[in-house]
Amino acid sequence: MKCDVLIVGAGFSGAVLANKIASTGKKVILIDQRNHISGNCYDFIDENGILIHKYGPHIFHTNSEKVWNYLSQFTEWNYYFHTVLAHVDGKKIPVPFNLNSLYQVFPESYALKIEQLLLEKYGFGNKIPILKLLQTDDKDLKFLADFVYKNIFLGYNLKQWGVKPEEIDFSVSSRVPVFISKDDRYFQDIYQGIPSNGYTEIFNKMLNNSNIEILLETTFDEVKSKIQYEQLVYTGNIDKYFDYCFGELPYRSLEFEFQNHKTEYFQDVAQENYPNNYDYTRITEFKHLTNQNADTTTIGIEYPKPYVIGKNEPYYPIPSNENNEIYLKYLELANKLNGKVIFSGRLAEYKYYNMDQVIGVALQIFEKYFK
């Protein structure tokens, strides 16, 4: 078999590059070890008629007009603003923790005092990372910071990442800040939505090109000596590509339990978090995302797990100083390949990207290496 570009992985990184490269007339072979395209964005209609996200909820949001316009070629949008409630002390409070959350967990007079202190010190509309708020000298703000850290961050991080918030890269711990606002939306990006016909339909349209051949249930090891190619795009674990010569990079995995309930709705919003109780981190109810009409509802319960080679799937890296030092050694090897092998995506770049960032990077790679 021959092609101009072999792409390993049919998630957003691989699919965007396959789409763009094939549009130039080059022959692309796209492989994936799973039995479907779309990577972790794969969605499908279950036996109860509910469109579900197999690998956890995916809410598209971006401030990049370029990325939004690119993806909009392949889908119409259901405009949707994500809200998340966390179970804390028997109440459901909005997260990121904001001024509305403040009044739900503290007496009104004390909440008003804290609100005034937050406004005076940080200003309305600003987002304060919890690790920064913990450094405050004000005793009342310190009390707030300790409460939010203990009840919102600590337990959730221990389950989600296997480490405390201060043990992972600041870029991760700052993703869910204390928001000095009454805006309950989880994201404040300009563009937000859910694909009208699901994510898998986007990938079907993106890869509908006679210059693209797709091989599913196929690993790179199985075909690397059988396919002749000019360039390789690799979206899998970078440490695996180099045979773990500097040791394994840690990744996190996930396990999902899906349940159908004979009721119109199971919970108040699409996502409810459980920071301190139970082994799972969150429950997603997909009808809130898709606006489907159905007599029953399907939920997904999410259990974080350590990634173990050969036993489960890697979902995302664990950024930390120690892990990044290992990654940089692999990156040095990657750079010596001078564009013959290109590494793209969460696993290959060891970065905790959002979907729009994955697409944006893939578009940049196309401009740099293939246009």
Alpha-carbon span 305 to 313, nearest angstrom = 10
- Give Cβ neighbours of residue 325 (< 8 Å, ≥ 6 apart): none
Q: Are residues 123 and 163 in the same domain?
A: yes
Kindly report, residue by residue over 13-27, the tens digit of the pLDDT: 999 999 999 999 999
Q: Are residues 242 and 329 in the same domain?
A: yes
Alpha-carbon span 75 to 15, nearest angstrom = 15
Q: Is residue 15 one of the residues assigned to a domain? A: yes
DSSP assignment of 39-50: GGG-EEE-TTS-
Q: Are residues 328 and 356 in the same domain?
A: yes
Q: Are residues 262 and 293 in the same domain?
A: yes
Domain span holding position 288: 252-306
Final residue in a domain of this structure, among 267, 284, 306: 306
Q: Hunting for tokens 């987002």 — which residue is that? A: 127
Q: Are residues 153 and 163 in the same domain?
A: yes
Rounded to the nearest 10°, the torsion over CA 143, 149, 152, 154 is: -150
Q: Are residues 170 and 52 in the same domain?
A: no
Q: Is residue 188 one of the residues assigned to a domain? A: no
Kindly report, residue by residue over 39-55, the tens digit of the pLDDT: 999 999 999 999 999 99
Q: Are residues 59 and 141 in the same domain?
A: no
The burial class, CB within 10 Å (0-12 / 13-18 / 19+), for 364 is exposed
Q: Is the pLDDT of residue 371 over 90?
A: no
Q: Are residues 168 and 268 in the same domain?
A: no
Q: Are residues 145 and 283 in the same domain?
A: no
Q: Is residue 292 one of the residues assigned to a domain? A: yes
Final residue in a domain of this structure, among 121, 154, 179: 179
Q: Are residues 58 and 88 in the same domain?
A: no
pLDDT at 210: 98
Domain count, the chain: 3
Q: Are residues 323 and 236 in the same domain?
A: yes
pLDDT band at residue 244 under the 50/70/90 scheme: very high
Nearest to 100 by CA among 174, 178, 14: 178
Q: Is residue 114 one of the residues assigned to a domain? A: yes
Domain of 341, CATH number, reads 3.40.50.720
Query: CA–CA distance from 262 to each of 57, 250, 266, 288 (Å)?
Result: 21, 40, 9, 16
pLDDT at 54: 97
Is the pTM value of this prediction over 0.75?
Answer: yes
Q: Are residues 290 and 202 in the same domain?
A: no
Q: Is residue 92 one of the residues assigned to a domain? A: yes
Q: Is residue 54 one of the residues assigned to a domain? A: yes
Q: Is residue 187 one of the residues assigned to a domain? A: no
Final residue in a domain of this structure, among 306, 337, 352: 306
Q: Is residue 66 one of the residues assigned to a domain? A: yes
Kindly report, residue by residue over 129-182, the tens digit of the pLDDT: 999 999 999 999 999 999 999 999 999 999 999 999 999 998 888 888 999 999
